[in-house]
Amino acid sequence: MAISPNAGKQAQQSDLINVAKLISDYYSLTPDVNEPSQAVSFGTSGHRGSSINVSFNDVHIAAISQALAEYRIKNDVTGPMFIGKDTHALSEPALVTAIEVLVANDVDVVVEKDNGYTPTPVISQKIVSYNNGRSDGFADGVVITPSHNPPSDGGFKYNQTHGGPAEGSVTSTIQDRANNIIKNKETIKRISIKAALASSKVTEIDFATDYINQLDQVIDMQAIASANLSLGTDPLGGSGIHYWDQIADKYNLNISLVNNQIDQRFAFMPCDHDGKIRMDCSSAYAMSGLISLKSEFDLAFGNDPDFDRHGIVCKSSGLMNPNHYLAVSINYLSQHRPHWGKDLGIGKTLVSSSMIDRVVKKLDRNLLEMPVGFKWFVDGLSNKSIAFAGEESAGGIFLKRDASTWATDKDGFILCLLAAEMLAVTGKDPGEHYQDLTQKFGTPSYKRIDVAASLEQKTKLSSLKISDISANSMAGEAITNVQTHAPGNNAAIGGVKVSTENGWFAARPSGTENVYKIYAESFENETHLQNIIKEAEDLVDEVLRKS
């Protein structure tokens, strides 16, 4: 897709959502689940959509909440449900709907005090710490967020008792039950929000303090403080916006919040590559404001609205490619966590950079390549067989310094703080560390693009077989491998990955937009990368045109 002339520029009035209409549509529009685009659909990170498109409405969330309450009963989940929301406009009404239904179904609900915001990693860490050592009465959780998606979107994600995103069989059960409830117009148990909040079933707590007090168990906060680094952060108007000052106060850090605005329209945002407002902390366009300030800090970083992603801005090199930072983080942690045994593996998504493969091989650790979606790493993080897990879209998590489990979902806070620890301990920022890696392993060129696709084409792409790829060469090199399943667990990747000696591409449908994504990398040069992308588009297009 072409880069919009508005990319990186301040959003204009015409780009902003009408919050009042968005909320009105949430309550007034009724979905037809026989229309696929209006049905409940759990992708890699929960159900997402927009009330405007009748894909994220009160009916959806009420049905999902009812299905979730029934799932808990069938699976004997009797502990509290921790619920967090981000700063998207639809997160507020969705939280109200969820509370009304869950409380009516006798679920004990725990939310942030004073109707505050709660980041995804905080919910995950809370579930893990609450359930640690228990034999019954386990807690689970919900995070109401569409992540970095545009302001008009909403999202609803279920985290199981292990603290991480629910596995596919669980979300399929909840999804199917919710759609049946809507289709058959079944009665949903529900009470008013006033009655729910007045009941003993809703508890308000301070999630932030407990989470912040434990950060030194996973990050060397003393090293950062001793180095007296000047740190800048842009929360992009997200749910962790009030955490950074508390972190700075607790650990005596010098952190400057360059943007303290919360605005459900996200009017302060520069537009993303396509001219849309999108709070993607891995995008140089969305992060252009913080990037322009890089010389003012030793290191700067940003996060998306639910704080499960990170964007690292180095004085030496600007905004880091997420793949580059993952490779650097793995290399650093493996050498600065003495309690991490050599038997601990490293997890990455199949579409992450092969630089990670080379680093992990040099470290003599086991590499586990998984399909896209953080749910695939949960078991390894829970049983402490995976030390670090990362995905190409700027998400990562790792074990505590003593090799015990911290959380089982992506954590943007600790990935940002790790960059500061790295600079404090080594005197080099992550960008400089990446240059060291390229001296050892070469300099890859990596890119991810979106290609317009119909629902039918997306469905076809997600069910490709190896035999559907008839080409035997790509960008002048023989094709050495075609994959439709991830080697780390043999699970379907929902698309295809094609590799040669010096490059690869992967194509898979988006779970939230009418596009498919192409990921490509070359260890030769930029021209080789562009050739791979061009041939990847042609190859996929040819496959999709076949009857």
CA angle (322, 265, 412) in 5-degree steps: 25
Q: Read off the CATH number of the domain in which 427 is found.
A: 3.40.120.10
396 touches 411 (CB < 8 A): yes
DSSP lists the bridge partners of residue 368 as 347
Examine the domain organization and report whether 264 and 308 are in the same domain: yes
State how far the Cα of 521 lies from the Cα of 483, in Å rounded to an integer. Answer: 16
State how far the Cα of 164 lies from the Cα of 131, in Å rounded to an integer. Answer: 13
**pLDDT at res. 1:** 60
Q: Residue 147 catalytic? A: yes
State how far the Cα of 386 lies from the Cα of 396, in Å rounded to an integer. Answer: 12
Examine the domain organization and report whether 180 and 245 are in the same domain: no
**pLDDT at res. 309:** 97
Find all residues with CB under 8 Å of 310, minimum gap 6, and list them. 281, 301, 302, 303, 322, 325, 394, 395, 396, 412, 415, 416, 419
Would you put residue 475 in left (φ > 0), alpha (ψ -120 to 50) or beta? left
**pLDDT at res. 311:** 98
Q: Is 10 part of a structural domain of the chain?
A: no
Could you say which residues of the chain have pLDDT below 50? Answer: 547
Among 256, 247, 239, 241, CA closest to 215: 247
Q: Which range of residues forms the domain containing residue 478?
A: 445-545
Final residue of a domain: which of 192, 210, 228?
Answer: 210
Final residue of a domain: which of 387, 409, 441?
Answer: 441
Examine the domain organization and report whether 168 and 106 are in the same domain: yes
Examine the domain organization and report whether 283 and 200 are in the same domain: no
Question: 253-282 in b/e burial notation, b at 16+ Cβ within 10 A?
Answer: bebeebbeebebbbbbbbbbbebbbbbbbb
Examine the domain organization and report whether 125 and 85 are in the same domain: yes
Among 409, 406, 399, CA closest to 333: 399
Q: Is 2 part of a structural domain of the chain?
A: no
Final residue of a domain: which of 441, 464, 483?
Answer: 441
Q: Tokens at residue 365, please?
A: 């650790």
Examine the domain organization and report whether 230 and 175 are in the same domain: no
Examine the domain organization and report whether 469 and 388 are in the same domain: no
**pLDDT at res. 113:** 97
Examine the domain organization and report whether 233 and 204 are in the same domain: no
Which residue type does 489 have?
Answer: N
Given CA atoms 55, 59, 65, 70 in this order, what sign does their dihedral have? negative
Q: Is 402 part of a structural domain of the chain?
A: yes
Burial group, residue 145, by CB count within 10 angstroms (0-12, 13-18, 19+): buried
Domain total of the chain: 3
Examine the domain organization and report whether 236 and 204 are in the same domain: no
229 touches 299 (CB < 8 A): yes
Among 114, 104, 118, CA closest to 201: 104
Q: Tokens at residue 336, please?
A: 């600065």
DSSP lists the bridge partners of residue 140 as 81
**Could you say which DSSP state residue 270 is in?**
B
Which residue type does 405 have?
Answer: T
Examine the domain organization and report whether 106 and 157 are in the same domain: yes
Q: Is 151 part of a structural domain of the chain?
A: yes
Per-residue pLDDT of 79-94, as tens digits, reads: 999 999 999 999 999 9
CA angle (259, 277, 154) in 5-degree steps: 95
Examine the domain organization and report whether 253 and 164 are in the same domain: no
State how far the Cα of 449 lies from the Cα of 515, in Å rounded to an integer. Answer: 10
Examine the domain organization and report whether 90 and 123 are in the same domain: yes
Q: Checking DSSP bridges between strand 492-499 and strand 503-509, what pairing results, if any?
A: antiparallel
Among 524, 362, 330, 376, CA closest to 445: 524
Which of 51, 147, 283, 393 is flagged as catalytic? 147
**Could you say which DSSP state residue 219 is in?**
S
Instruction: State the CB neighbour count (10 A cutoff) for residue 484.
Output: 18
47 touches 41 (CB < 8 A): yes
Q: Read off the CATH number of the domain in which 508 is found.
A: 3.30.310.50
**What separation, in Å, do the N-terminal and C-terminal C-alpha atoms of the chain show?**
25
Instruction: State the CB neighbour count (10 A cutoff) for residue 239.
Output: 30
